[in-house]
Amino acid sequence: MGKLDETLQRIGKLDAEAMAAAAERQDRLSKPKGALGVLEIISIKVAGILGEPIPEPGAKTVIVMAADHGVVEEGVSLYPAEVTAQMVHNFLSGGAAINVLSRHVGANVTVVDVGVASDLAGEGLVVKKIAPGTANMALGPAMSREQAVAAIEAGIEVAEAEISHGARFLATGDMGIGNTTAASAITACLSGLDPLEVTGRGTGIDDAGLDLKRRVISEALRVNCPDKNDALDVLAKVGGLEIAGIAGVILAAAAAKCPVVIDGFISAAGALVAAGLHEGAPAFMIASHLSVERGHGVILERLGLCPIIHAEMRLGEGTGAALAFSFIDAALKVLREMATFDEAGVSGPEDALEKTQC
């Protein structure tokens, strides 16, 4: 049995008893029921994922998957392909936005080369290179099915290593010039929507560039005819190696009952693939934010996930996920540290009801 199949078999369900206990405590805390909104929802979901009625915050790691895309040849990005490798070096030196925000929330950053076109080296870099980028999906499949599986399994291995080293919460991040084109193609295929409805400006292309990008995606879908009922087929034909790696991280987290925070559009495309491989995977996901990329909201709706943050972000790298960690920590601290009505000596809604009935 391959690592992917073994991982899929280990994905179970949320702990209903832990969730019920967390919800019951939330209702006894010294506040009106539901008054802390999404913080209450997060704490109950994390309780179910970890199987702990009152979970504690813990070590956090953002896993940034990096890979190149052959479709860049079509002119779909404002930036040249070599920026992928350059940004990986920026991550390793601690100078990128994901480094700043991860330091801000106390998270570690693990950078993975799963398919960068050039050979990279640097302290802390995890090399899991499956291929030097994908092929041009406008001309044929982005990668073979075997490569897609290998990239997913690379993500599984990295996530398992982080969990074994003490990570209690994982987050997904990405780097790959051209990857919003791949993410849009995946989204269009798996959602059944026209590329026009799910394709955004990515790195900031103008109207002419956006029109070209949509035409390239339509051509890639026509040439490759991916089977929307087979997530692996879609991933291989119009996806990316880093998107595959992200799907692997998510599946490994679900199998290990580890909360995984999903970043923006690229990460969401990986989440959509993961959900296509196992319908139970979304239960273990937490959506960090809503990107301005058009396809992101489409994916979150299909996964049944509600984003925590609405900040008009579209950078990727794991930046939205890093910010969401602060909300998750706050949610768990409220559940654990806030006094109940009884503990605080504050009259609750039941006391008011009793007085009305007397």
Give the catalytic positions in this structure: 317
Per DSSP, the three-state class of 114 is: strand
Q: How far apart are CA 75 and CA 69, in angstroms?
A: 11
* Cα–Cα nearest to 254, from 318, 163, 332: 163
**Bridge partners for 65 per DSSP:** 112, 174
Q: Could you write out the three-class secondary structure of 26-91?
A: HHHECCCCCCCCHHHHHHHHHHHHHCCCCCCCCCEEEEEEEECCHHHHHCCCCCCCCHHHHHHHHH
Which helix H or strand E contains 64, and what residues bound it? Answer: strand 60-67
Sheet holding 60-67, edge to edge: 125-127, 108-115, 60-67, 169-175, 260-262, 285-287
Per DSSP, the three-state class of 61 is: strand
User: DSSP secondary structure string, 131-150?
Assistant: SSS---TTTS-SS-HHHHHH
For strands 108-115 and 260-262, give the pairing: unpaired
Q: How far apart are CA 154 and CA 193, in angstroms?
A: 30
Which helix H or strand E contains 115, and what residues bound it? Answer: strand 108-115
For strands 169-175 and 260-262, give the pairing: parallel
